[in-house]
Amino acid sequence: MMATKAPNPIDKHVGARVRMRRLLVGMSQEKLGTSLGITFQQIQKYEKGTNRIGASRLQQISEVLGVPVAYFFEDAQGEAIPAGFAEQPQGDYVADFLATSEGLQLTKSFMKVKDPKVRRRIVDLVSSIAEEEADKQG
């Protein structure tokens, strides 16, 4: 029985950025796949980081999704800097959040609220709920 190899962290990051951008523009995996001449299953593998995206394919994806190739590498934690000199990774929680359907829906809805006082009250409400949840768990 062969052990499955864990996806490379950069491949996972790039895939998550593809997913985030695809969701932000409201495109399905099937539509993106069709635009690229591949199956939606291949898009799923790219987004999970299971399959590495080649340079020419990443260029195609960037054109279809309307972003520069560099977009997919933003905030990636590289391994080139020796650990003693690197800042401790903070985690890409914003990208992780936006890559979920709930995060995307919440962000889109929040951006539609124009009144700054109402926006502040929403932030206060969510912060209050989060504190209560943390108190329950801790």
Q: Do 46 and 24 belong together in one domain?
A: yes
Tokens 């903070």 belong to residue: 90
Task: Give the domain extent around 19.
Answer: 1-99
Overall size of the chain counted in residues: 138
C-alpha of 104 from chain center: 10
**Contacts for 23 with CB less than 8 Å, ≥ 6 apart:** 98, 99, 101, 104
Q: How far apart are CA 136 and CA 83, in angstroms?
A: 36
Q: Do 67 and 118 belong together in one domain?
A: no
Per-residue pLDDT of the chain (138 residues; tens, 9 = 90+): 556 678 888 999 899 899 989 988 889 999 999 999 999 999 999 999 999 999 999 999 999 999 999 999 987 776 544 444 444 444 556 667 777 778 888 888 888 889 989 989 998 998 899 888 888 887
Write the CATH number for 20. Answer: 1.10.260.40
Sign of CA dihedral 4, 9, 13, 15: negative
Q: Do 95 and 108 belong together in one domain?
A: no
Q: pTM higher than 0.95, yes or no? A: no
